[in-house]
Each structure stands twice: as C-alpha cells, then as structure tokens.
Amino acid sequence: MFRRTTVIAISLMLVLSLVLAACSDGSKDSNSGNNGKGNQAETGGDKPDQASGGAADEAAGVVKPEDLVFPEKFPDVPKAVDYDKSYAYDDMSKNYTIDIMIGGFINQPATQDMIKEFYEKTFNVTLKFTNLSAEDLVNKTNVRFASGDAPDVVLLGDKAIAQALFKQGQLLEATEILPYMTQMMTYVTQEYKNWSTDNGNMVGIPRLPVFPDVWGNFIRQDWLKKLGMEMPKTADEVFAYAKAVTEQDPDGNGKPDTYFMGAAGGGQGFGMMAGLMDMFGHRSWNVKDDKINHPMLDGTMKSYLEFMKKLNDNKLLAPDWYTIQWEQFKAYTLQNKIGMVNYPGWNLLQEQYSASQNDVKTIENWAPVPPLSAVAGQEGLMPPGGSPGGIYVISKKAGEDQGKLKRIAHFLDAVQYPNKYYWVGNQGGGPEIWPDYTKVVTNEDGTYYYESDMAKLQNEMKPELKGMMDWQSLGYTLIWERHRYSPDVPYNEPGDKYQDIVRAYPRQKNYDMLLNLDGPTINRLKDFTEKNEIAFVLGKRSFDEWDKYVDEWKKAGGEKLIKQAAEQLEAAAP
C-alpha cells in the first residue's frame, strides 16, 4: 500500500512539474530579479504605474510627444543637460528590471561586471544584459519577440528589423519615450527622425555612430616610395599600385607574399573592398538628372565588378581574400603583407604600433588615400556620410508600465554623450569603474579625451572581464573624442589627424536618409546581389549577361524599390 501511494505521489508530482514547466512564461524570469533584491522588492518591483505621468510630467517639464522639437543639426559644442531637472520625472523609488540586448564585439558575459553593478546601483534597476554578434542579435531578438518574451530595449544595426517588428505591433512609438530623453533630443535631428520613421511612425531612436565617417582607404606610403609611385588618383593608378605591390616585393624579403587588398567579410559581401566602388559612382540610391538612379542602373556596379574581376584574375588579392574573417585578415595587414586597407585611421595606427612591439616608425607606414575617381581629372567622392550607428527599439511591453518606461528613458539618456554617466560604460569602464587608471579630460570645444594608464588598465582587465567592454555599444561615439598627445602614445596625434582628414573629404549625398524602402525586399535583394556579384568577379557569370542580370535584379525586387525610391525622392523613373 505504501509503495503504491508513493508511486502515485511521484507520478502526480512529475505530471504537475511537467505541466508547470510547459505553461511557465519565460518572460517572467527577467523580472524575477526583484525577488532577490530584499527591500527593493518590497518597494513595488515592476507593478504597472499608470497613475504617474500627466500632471507629474508637466510639473517636471516633460513636453508632449507632439511638441517635440527635432534639431536641424548636431550641436556645435555638445553640453550635458541639467541632470536633476531633466530627470525630475523619475523619483527613483522603485526598482525595475530592464532587459537590454545589444550587438557587441566580445559577446561573452563578464564574470564580475562592475559596469552593470554601477548602473544597477545608480539607477535602482536590475539589468539583464545580452551581448551578441550582429547576426545572432537579429535572430535572438526575433525569437524572443515571437515567443512573447520580448526584451525591453534592443539596439539593432538594421533598420529593416525594427520596421518589421513595429509592423507586427511589438514596438513602442519612439515619440512616446523621447519626451523623457532631453540629452538624446539634442542629436535626434530632423534627418535622423525621417530615417527612423516608417509610414508616419518613428519605429525607434537613431543611435549616434561609433565611427563617424572616419573609415577610409589607407595606403602603404613606405611602399609607394619604394616602388617609386605617386599616391593613386584613378582606378588605373590603383590597379598599377596593386600590381606593383604583388609583383615587385615591396617588403624586400624575396618572397611573393605581399598583396593589394582583401574583402575580409567572411564570405558575405566585399567587406573593406566595397569602398572601391566609390571610384565609379554613387554606391546607393541617388538622383541623377532628376531621375532616380542606382548603381545597378548607371553602370557603376558593372564597372566596379569588372575592376574587382581584374584584380582577382591578376591574382593581386590576398589568399582567401573573400572568405577570410576580419580578425584573421588583420594578421596579414599587421604583418606588412597588405598594400591597402579600409579602416578608421586612429585604429589602424594604434594596431600597427602595438603589433610592431611599439616601433614608432610603423606609424608612418600608412596614409589616407584621397577620394579616387575612375576618370582622370574628375573629382572623387567618399561614400555618403552622416548615417546613424543603429537604432534603439523599445518593446511595447516595456511601455505598458509608465514608471519603467521613464526609468529606461532616464538610463538610456544618462549614458549619451556628454551626459553624467556617458563615460561609465566606455572603453571597458571609465573613471567611475577604474578610478586609479582612468580620467576624463573635457575640452572647451565640446570634445574630450581619456587620460588613462592603458598598460595598467589592460593588466587589471583580466580576460574574464572583457565582456564589460560591450557596454560601450550602448552609447559610445567617437564624434567628439580626441586623444592625449604624448610621446608615450605616438599614434594618437597622427591618428586623430587622419580621422579629421578623412572626415573632411567631399562625400556623395546620402539619399538613404530620406528613404524608407520595403525592408523584406531589400534583404531579399541583398542575398540575390551578393551571390551574383561574386559570380561575376570569379568569372562564373559573364559580363555579356549584364543586361539580363539587371532585368533579373528588377524582377527580384529592384523594380519595386525603384518605384518606391522615385516616389519618396520625388524623382522621375529612370
């Protein structure tokens, strides 16, 4: 009898636990952190706070969404907002759990995340932080929204995903949270607003770019000298340099082991070699003679691919140039095997200096290439600039609790440049995290630099803490960052100078900021074009078929986008 009762009891318990497991809502887990917060949990946790708002917001000086004023341009000298006044709407009494997902570059949790601890203490929040690679971020985000376990904030790199999620009714209209974000409102320009608006709805908040138009082609000027060549200006001169680099042994080691360039995109697109397209024309949607234009329509893409084929046929590109990953390709670059790269100037000099065991002469190896042109005498242009560095999206679920929404706004706004807590999460931790090693110096022109003992900091920054560095994806931008000029960091001054030079080059007009094209069609076309473009370069498709290919492109969605772009830019059809 006892045995039978036991069996029955065990069976019932198993059934119960199974049913409970099946019916449990994963989304609840993210809020369960409050239970472990002792007194904080007793203060109310994440209970909806619909009562707040309204009169309290007015008293705190919060504007209505319809009264938001979007600036025409970034401030000349950014200033931090009046912190206490700007966030008076948030009484900070309750603890909220905020679930944040971002695309990082370390993408592993830190064993002791001091930045997270600082934020949690300062903002009275419990943070759930997920850092993933760009592709994983998209997939994970989609799965979480689909399973009803939506995160509160996601920083996406691709606007199309934000559009799709918004269409599915999953996201909060950004103008509902922006009134609480006074710092953010100093740089969400009218252009940024247009970019993030789809069918009249602002689907997210544009993020400042980390690297603001500082990517450029850099050439080995020591090799140019050795080869007796001038800085290339045209496509033919670039090709001549590429041939000389590969065939004339500029490093003088007697081995055929130097190459012009590589895509380093891991088999997905032309990566750093995409910049060469600018020699031949505008790389994206544009208006030409009052008609809508695209590189597929005016021969820009064809000329570019023919040039790429020429480089490949002549074996001027690095081994595995198309399939190799970015980090693996760095080994070629920093071991003096590559003649041209597309890079942010400061990073290139810093990495080259470190890789050469602090050989100061290596800093002089690289120099930026002025905008190239296919035709001699014609002015070259850099690619379109001024694009945002991603888009913050806020889940609708997060917006259901006004108190929580305000805390999210408060937190996100406080980590924007140059607000009070901007430096906390950057570079693996600012002065608040590493007071012995890091100091921030602000300049009168609105710029700043870190006065840090990098050697000591890197020694302290154990591998298990590296995941902390991904917090900088939240708000870090180089727009206003300068570097300390000193003999112990000899790459800082030329690095900054090169970035300024590249940023000052004339650029193609950025029509993409004015467009909101159909996201799924763009994505589908991307698959279609990437596989065909490499087929042309490798000779699997003949350029005799080019017109046929353009027709295929139109049928695959190009025609639809042409119509949309023409309509939105008020240009005639081609």
Chain residues that interact with another protein, rule: CB under 8 A = 4, 7-8, 10-11, 14-15, 18-19, 22, 135, 138-139, 142-143, 145-146, 148, 161, 164-165, 168-170, 266-269, 318-320, 322-324, 396, 520, 523, 527, 530-531, 533-535, 538, 540, 555-556
As given in the structure block, the two tokens for residue 78 are 């950014």
Of residues 224 and 341, the one with the C-beta less far from another protein: 341
Contact in structure between 138 and 161 (CB atoms under 8 Å): yes
Output b/e per residue, 403-435; b: 16+ Cβ within 10 A: bbbbbbbbbbbbbbbbbbbbbbbbbbbbbbbbe
Q: Which amino acid is at 50?
A: Q
Of residues 26 and 61, the one with the C-beta less far from another protein: 26
Of residues 269 and 446, the one with the C-beta less far from another protein: 269
Of residues 332 and 511, the one with the C-beta less far from another protein: 332
Residue 145 CB, shortest distance to another protein, in Å, is 5
Residue 200 CB, shortest distance to another protein, in Å, is 19
**Cα–Cα distance measured from residue 376 to residue 89, given in angstroms and rounded to the nearest whole number:** 60
Of residues 211 and 528, the one with the C-beta less far from another protein: 528
Residue 476 CB, shortest distance to another protein, in Å, is 26
Of residues 278 and 533, the one with the C-beta less far from another protein: 533
As given in the structure block, the two tokens for residue 289 are 């003679």
Residue 557 CB, shortest distance to another protein, in Å, is 10
254's CB contacts (< 8 A; 6+ apart) are none
| Residue 329 CB neighbour total at 10 angstroms | 24
Residue 161 CB, shortest distance to another protein, in Å, is 8
Residue 512 CB, shortest distance to another protein, in Å, is 20
Output b/e per residue, 59-71; b: 16+ Cβ within 10 A: ebebeeeeebebe
Residue with tokens 């934000």: 162
In the chain, what is the straight-line distance between the N-terminal and C-terminal CA atoms, in Å?
A: 87
Residue with tokens 């022109």: 445
Of residues 312 and 568, the one with the C-beta less far from another protein: 312
**Cα–Cα distance measured from residue 339 to residue 259, given in angstroms and rounded to the nearest whole number:** 6
> Which backbone phi and psi does 438 adopt, to 5 degrees?
-125, 135
**Cα–Cα distance measured from residue 131 to residue 206, given in angstroms and rounded to the nearest whole number:** 19
As given in the structure block, the two tokens for residue 296 are 């597929």
Of residues 31 and 523, the one with the C-beta less far from another protein: 523
Q: If 0-12 CB within 10 Å is exposed, 13-18 middle and 19+ buried, where does residue 10 land?
A: exposed
As given in the structure block, the two tokens for residue 523 are 């994505």
**Cα–Cα distance measured from residue 336 to residue 229, given in angstroms and rounded to the nearest whole number:** 18
Residue with tokens 């190799």: 324
Q: Which amino acid is at 484?
A: R
Residue 340 CB, shortest distance to another protein, in Å, is 18
Residue with tokens 């082609």: 217
Rg of the Cα atoms in the chain:
26
257's CB contacts (< 8 A; 6+ apart) are 251, 337
As given in the structure block, the two tokens for residue 498 are 């090169």
Of residues 45 and 103, the one with the C-beta less far from another protein: 103
Of residues 36 and 169, the one with the C-beta less far from another protein: 169
| Residue 339 CB neighbour total at 10 angstroms | 26
Residue 99 CB, shortest distance to another protein, in Å, is 17
- Tell me how many helices (H) and strands (E) the chain has: 21, 14
Of residues 323 and 447, the one with the C-beta less far from another protein: 323
Residue 133 CB, shortest distance to another protein, in Å, is 12
Residue 406 CB, shortest distance to another protein, in Å, is 23
Residue 358 CB, shortest distance to another protein, in Å, is 27
